[in-house]
Amino acid sequence: MAQIVSFGEVLMRLSTPGFSRFEQARQFNVTYAGGEANVSAALSYWGHHAAHVTRFPDSPIGRAATQYLDFIGLDTSHIVYGGNRIAVYFLETGVAMRGSQIVYDRANSALAEMQPEDVNWEEILKDAKWFHWAGITPALSQGAADTLLAGVKAAKKLGVTVSGDIFYRPNLWKYGKKPTEILPEITANTDIVIANGENIKEIFDIDGNDFVESCVNLQKAYPGVKMVVDTKRTSISASHNLLRAYLWNGKELLETGDIEINPIIDRVGGGDAFIAGLIHGLITFDDQLKALEFGVAASALKHTIEGDALISTVAEVEAIRKGETSGRIKR
């Protein structure tokens, strides 16, 4: 039934209130979030039936996490229960010249201990249009990597479009494999890659003098890749950023203008909102640049909302895409 399916770890997000430092916090705000689920949640708000696949411990905490995903509109019927703990991340939101801080505690999570047999991908994906993954999942464990690989292969087989956020954090790969051993096969089953030139070099060892050349060379190696997409953030301070994006579609480089964001309320999840916007645009519009702009507008809007998830309507994002950023009251 789900049109959009995403797969990835969902963490308990424990953030200090306002701009408090960790040491000051006597309360944490608690939500549940993960890059891939963030993408699906935004799409769900925009009317797509979106299911997220993940694994939670079979405990009150796992139930609380599931209910939160229900709340942000996700179909949670494919969540797997088992394992010992939910991954956690601690967030202290920065302001002015003080950047936000994130402390992860994700080792040995329920998802990291997942195995391919936990998921019946063909069943889950049978009515889907789109499958989305991110590069963190295969970095967590062999089981997570294998489960993802099974997912992208099933998607490919069923003709489902696959997008992958090639997100490279070297310090995550601790289970004995290198990204270069794992990501190529997954990428070979992926249609749309979110990556910059540096990622392409580090992960695939593919060079280029500029972004376009890197993309061209990536497509040579991975002919299934139809688009490569990247964003550029100009960070004036933790409270003031500019955002734009690029899309290489195999023929030309599309590029948006900058959107100014000042002040920023919460930039975590901004990249996921961009991907969600792009996916919505590519599914809905017959205009890749408009889709890219919709992604940047969605990302900008996300920065004004506390929490990883972009809660919005299509109309709100579209208005920003069209340049209506003066913030007048809507009655």
What is the footprint of its own copies within residues 110-169 (CB under 8 A)? Answer: 169
Q: Nearer Cβ to its own copies, position 218 or 309? A: 309
Q: Which of 56, 90, 130, 248 binds its own copies (CB under 8 A)?
A: 90
- The answer to whether 130 and 6 have CB atoms below 8 angstroms apart is no
Residues numbered 17 to 46 that lie near its own copies (CB under 8 A) are 17-31
* Residue 330 beta carbon to its own copies: minimum distance, rounded to whole angstroms: 5
Q: Which of 4, 14, 111, 152 binds its own copies (CB under 8 A)?
A: 14
Helix axes 179-188, 142-158, angle to 10 degrees: 20
Q: Which stretch binds its own copies (CB under 8 A): 85-93, 127-135, 201-209, 219-227?
A: 85-93
Residue 264 backbone class (left: φ over 0; alpha: ψ -120 to 50; beta: rest):
beta
The end-to-end CA distance of the chain, in Å, is 36
* Residue 70 beta carbon to its own copies: minimum distance, rounded to whole angstroms: 5
Q: Nearer Cβ to its own copies, position 30 or 253? A: 30
* Residue 291 beta carbon to its own copies: minimum distance, rounded to whole angstroms: 19
CA torsion angle 294 296 298 302 (round to 10): 180
Residues numbered 259 to 278 that lie near its own copies (CB under 8 A) are 259-265, 267-268
The token pair at 147 is: 């489960």
Q: Nearer Cβ to its own copies, position 21 or 157? A: 21
Residues numbered 278 to 307 that lie near its own copies (CB under 8 A) are 300-301, 303-307
Q: Nearer Cβ to its own copies, position 93 or 187? A: 93
Residues numbered 200 to 229 that lie near its own copies (CB under 8 A) are none
* Residue 222 beta carbon to its own copies: minimum distance, rounded to whole angstroms: 28
Q: Nearer Cβ to its own copies, position 77 or 180? A: 77
Q: Which residues of 66-98 are buried (b: 16+ CB within 10 A; e: fewer)?
A: bebbeebbbbbebbbeebebbbbbbbbbbeeee
Q: Nearer Cβ to its own copies, position 99 or 208? A: 99
- CA-CA distance, 102 to 4, in Å (whole number)? 29
CA torsion angle 190 128 67 120 (round to 10): -80
Q: Which of 80, 188, 242, 311 binds its own copies (CB under 8 A)?
A: 311
